[in-house]
Chain A
Amino acid sequence: MSFIVSFVWSFVLWLVLTAGTKGMLWSTEEVIAGIIFAAIVGLSTKNIIGEKAQRFLNPAKWLGFLVYAIGPLFWGMVKANFDVAYRVITGKIKPGIVRVPVDLENEAQYTILSNSITLTPGTLTVDACPEEKALYVHWIYVRDEEPKSSEPVAGSFEKWARRLGK
């Protein structure tokens, strides 16, 4: 199973990188070489990619990622950049590292949530502790020294991360 997943993704990446070799499409040689190289990559990484790898092939999940990236994440980044621009110009900061309790199950969800937090207004993940179910977040303008949930820090991102990383 993990061989098929990494084969499919290497082959898709190869097709994206070699599009336009024959008109707007692919020439036969490129496709054959792509199959060979994707098989090599798949064989050599099949022990590294874990058991639950087939969730990476679920198209509904990739549609969810696309909607998430274009909708809430991009809007959060727009807000974040105007926030940082305001702080660069005025120099008004009140930094601090706060502990944010979160309710997530696996590591993919922690990765999605902490990367989203880093790209959104005024927050930067310093460390994630799955064993005590908490994130340590550097906040550029502390509004709440001991938040009870991730709502004041991350808005609705925890819900999205829980749904996407399942």
Chain B
Amino acid sequence: MIKSIIYVFLAISITFNLLGSVSLHRFPDVYTRLHGATKCTTFGTIFAVLAVIVHAIWQIKETGNPKYLQMALHSLVALIALLLTNPTGAHAIAKAAHLSGYKPARAVIDAYEKKLRGEEA
């Protein structure tokens, strides 16, 4: 029962992590690649951590070893650190790419470009 929960979480995690790395090759430019990379890998890592936490709680029940309590809490801290830093890093890359002059490919509208040119003129 608990094994199958762990398998399901691991399968979701692996699927979305692989999808994130494939999306780097499917999309045409920096911004669309950031979409795939940030969302999919964050989601995949959430489920990897959930699988580890379920496994650790199960091991606490089985063996009562406090090492598994540490394992669950530390992976939770790693997850919170990733959740806080990942979207901020993506935003920083997107802004830096735009300011250094990489235009979004196949864009139908670019309001940020208009704003930057309006300030320069």
Contacts and interface: CB of A to CB of B under 8 A. Distances in A.
A16 B77 contact: yes
User: For chain A, what secondary structure do more than half of its interface residues adopt (helix, strand, loop), or is it mixed?
Assistant: mixed
A122 B31 CA distance: 11
Interface size class of A (residues with CB under 8 A): 35 or more
B112 A77 contact: no
B95 A126 contact: yes
Q: Most A CB atoms within 10 A — which of B16, B31, B69, B113?
A: B31
26 contacts: A13-B77, A16-B77, A17-B77, A19-B66, A19-B73, A21-B66, A23-B66, A24-B69, A77-B43, A80-B43, A84-B19, A84-B36, A85-B19, A88-B22, A93-B106, A95-B105, A96-B104, A96-B110, A97-B31, A118-B90, A119-B38, A119-B42, A126-B91, A126-B94, A127-B112, A138-B104
A124 B31 contact: yes
B39 A119 contact: yes
Interface of A: 13, 16-17, 19-21, 23-24, 77-78, 80-81, 84-85, 87-88, 91, 93-99, 114-115, 118-119, 122, 124-127, 129, 136, 138, 140, 142, 145-146
Contact of B31 (A20, A24, A95, A99): A95
Given A93-B27, A95-B32, A124-B31, A80 B39 contact: yes
A136 B111 CA distance: 7
B30 to A, nearest CB: 10
A24 B109 CA distance: 57
Nearest to A125: B91
A94 to B, nearest CB: 6
A88 B70 contact: no
A88 B19 contact: yes
